[in-house]
Amino acid sequence: MNAAPEPEILAAFEAAKGFMPVHEGLALYAAATEAGRLGLPLLEVGTYCGRSTVLLADAARRAGVTALTVDHHRGSEEQQPGWDYHDPSLVDPEVGRMDTLPAFRRTLHAAGLEDHVVALVGRSPQIAALWGTPLGLVFVDGGHTDEHAGADYEGWAPHVAEGGLLLIHDVFPQKLDEFTGQAPYRVYLRALESGRFTEVSATDTLRVLRRTGTAVPPRG
């Protein structure tokens, strides 16, 4: 199976609002293509406007599985008013809060992938607490505080099937500025230290790990 997206899918990815660069997106697509061979759903935490979802959904479509994406669609901390990553066009004028769900739906429609994605709208820990299905891939790309990134890891990593992949985005071993944060890096270290995952690859700030053990991830 070709592990590169078709030009129209890559174009839809690049046209969508979001922050993932192309080279990391291609690494995500390759990992999703590999994980899809397990015949299990592929899940991401942190939908935003669906940029990375386009790649995850197309890889899922080609593998004959379902892509799942989890987000409350109110924006993470750095996307709120007053922060550098705030986009005023994504504020719902009626309620005065961020609402990325309409933009996400437009992204999927433009890419022709609406039928291949299940959007789970809500807080990640609440959804994870109800989840019971093994997953071929979990892509952690939600909130970047220790509280939120840690909860995403604790809630979803146990559902990665043996041989499945855990992807963590925005891993910065060194703090670059006030916006980068290192919570995803600490989650990455926790995953390695748990004895449950081994590293497969690193592409800039994207880490790909494979579940190879059965140790329980440490909490706290």
SS3 76: coil
d(CA 139, CA 69): 9
d(CA 65, CA 107): 20
Q: Is 159 a catalytic residue?
A: no
Which of 144, 148, 159, 169 is labelled catalytic? 144
d(CA 128, CA 24): 26
> Under 8 Å CB-to-CB from 199, ≥6 apart: which residues?
192, 207, 208, 209
Give strand pairing partners of 91.
98
Give strand pairing partners of 69.
44, 119
Phi, psi of 121 (to 5 degrees): -95, 110
For the annotated catalytic residues, the residue numbers are 144
